[in-house]
Amino acid sequence: MGKRAKGGRDRRRLAPAPLAPSPPPPPGTSSVGFAQWLGHNGIILVLFETPSGFALINYDGVKLFRPKALENIWSEFINMDTAQNDKELERHTWGLKNLIKFLVPDEELELTNEDCLQISQGMKLVLDRYGFEVDASLVNSGIIDMASTVYECDLFEDARVASLQNGSKQLEEVSGIDSKNWDRLKLATALKLICYPNDEIVTGDSEEMLSKSEAEQLVTDAHRYKLKRHDWIYLELYTDFVWAHGVRRRALELLGPMVKEAKEDLKLQQGSMVKEEQQEVKQHP
């Protein structure tokens, strides 16, 4: 027993109570602010359960707080040659499972398809946007790869939207054309035509194309546009959007048959299971 002071009071000093963690910065805080709150320049350790044990993996924790984190995180883990909330942690874990051999090369045990090919909520958002009704029972590696390709094309375009919007304002100011609801490729084509009015373009009625009358008006007004001073920028933007549009269109063309085939395979599997259950009942009435 320890000694007591006069009056029977214990002189032993109690350890101070641990400080409660401070709440995360509010939405809209800069990446630097989130990194300072997380510490270690924003790098966090993720404890990931593998088939044979556990692994600690470094991750940029700031990404968990960026806009559209729910939709963005899953794709990073497909294309790679502590969390803010449970949903984002779930996306993180889904990605780690699909890259376990890359991140933990010494892992010898294999994850089952049930573990690896669960659909991520972020991937489902992308598939839903393009009209593909897919749930976890239909996911395969091909669908994951094509969904990732579509998403990367969207992300590639999103990074260039600001430059298009600057040109869009001039369309309305100079030619009185409201392009707010235009397809991005159509807008990029219009800005490129203004800068290079002698270039021939294909016109048409689809949402990605300029109509003949729109193209003629832009060629007529081309000399009035200030954006011609930066013509090389809009030529590069046009080239980028043509590329992204073509890659995404091809990925979507491949996704359709993949989803259809997955649904047919699932029906066959379900039919086989029903037959097996019926045979089992007959054998053991």
Q: What pLDDT is stored for residue 274 in this prediction?
A: 66
Burial of 188 from C-beta contacts in 10 A (0-12 / 13-18 / 19+): buried
Structure confidence by residue, pLDDT tens digits, 118-161: 556 677 788 888 888 877 677 777 888 888 888 888 888 998 88
Burial of 196 from C-beta contacts in 10 A (0-12 / 13-18 / 19+): middle
> What gap in Å lies between CA 249 and CA 252, rounded to an integer?
5
The pLDDT profile of the chain, 285 residues, written as one tens digit per residue, is 445 545 555 555 555 555 556 777 887 788 888 888 888 787 877 665 555 555 566 777 777 777 777 666 666 655 544 333 444 444 444 444 444 444 445 544 444 444 444 556 677 788 888 888 877 677 777 888 888 888 888 888 998 888 888 888 889 899 999 998 999 999 999 999 999 999 988 898 888 999 999 999 999 999 999 887 888 999 999 999 999 999 999 999 999 898 888 888 777 777 766 666 667 766 766
Q: What pLDDT is stored for residue 211 in this prediction?
A: 93
Q: What pLDDT is stored for residue 250 in this prediction?
A: 93
As separate numbers, helices (DSSP H) first and strands (DSSP E) second, the chain gives 11, 2
- Exposure on the CB side of residue 30, measured as CA atoms within 13 A: 4
69 touches 88 (CB < 8 A): yes
> What gap in Å lies between CA 101 and CA 51, rounded to an integer?
11
125 touches 70 (CB < 8 A): yes
> What gap in Å lies between CA 93 and CA 251, rounded to an integer?
26
Residues in the chain: 285
Q: What pLDDT is stored for residue 244 in this prediction?
A: 92
> What gap in Å lies between CA 56 and CA 103, rounded to an integer?
10
Specify the amino acid at residue 250: R
Q: What pLDDT is stored for residue 19 in this prediction?
A: 57
C-alpha radius of gyration, the chain, whole number: 28
44 touches 38 (CB < 8 A): yes
> What gap in Å lies between CA 13 and CA 253, rounded to an integer?
71
111 touches 90 (CB < 8 A): no
Specify the amino acid at residue 57: I
Which tokens belong to 174? 């100079």
DSSP 8-class letter at 139: -
Q: What pLDDT is stored for residue 245 in this prediction?
A: 93
255 touches 143 (CB < 8 A): yes
